[in-house]
Amino acid sequence: MKIKSLFLAALCTGVLASGASANDRYGQRPPVVLSPDLTAPWVTQLRSPATAHGAGTVVRQPKAVNRRSVSKRRSKVRVASRQQSTRQAQPAMNPVFLPTVVDYQTKHRPGTIIIDTPNRYLYLILANGKARRYGVGVGKPGFEWAGTHKITRKALWPDWRPPAQMIAREKKKGRHLPTYMAGGPANPLGARALYLGSTLYRIHGTNQPWTIGGAVSSGCIRMRNEDVVELYERVGNGTKVIVI
């Protein structure tokens, strides 16, 4: 019996030595530790060899993906992409309508505003035969007008109350206008408004800058928001406005 036991021990030692030798060819493998979560014993956690016998960082299985959260993020990305595409699809304003200082000979005093509707320009008369020129949008065919008025009121981020005639006219086209819209970036009157005499006409900004240079309004003179803000700061109530 003693001889048989020694034989079996030697045999086991040889097998283990042989196995160790085979494993050595592939490098040291990290130990596998069973998950402490006994409800899911098939889940394993691996430690690096350097920390196998110490307090190392355990590499845990990745958390389950919240599909609803991922779906929301993807939806937001799609919406942002559509908004970006819409902005890119909008036509650019012709650069000839950007503000500039030009020679302009006139008998009118500096500070006067002259609006050349056929050529889509607004001139703010300066001294020494110069004028600050801005591009504008003017009345559509059938809505042109000419005359001389004074600025009677100025408004920051004006609200909008479309005239009854405009509401009725647009309704026939299948477009329903509100009776009132508070001032703000979405308001068609833009950032500033200069009211002309007792008329319904104004010089105002727009949230559609690409329309500058066109015959697009119901008689109002529209400017880029940047430009109407500048003009608003340069002129006051009582300023003479000549529309030709």
Active site residues: 204, 220
Contact 139, 218 (CB under 8 A): yes
Distances in Å between the Cα of 242 and the Cα atoms of 53, 88, 228 are: 90, 36, 17
**Phi/psi-derived region of residue 241, left when phi > 0, alpha when psi is between -120 and 50, beta in every other case:** beta
First to last CA, the chain: 126
Contact 23, 29 (CB under 8 A): yes
Between vectors from CA 233 to CA 183 and to CA 103, what angle results, nearest 5°?
Answer: 125
Contact in structure between 203 and 194 (CB atoms under 8 Å)? yes
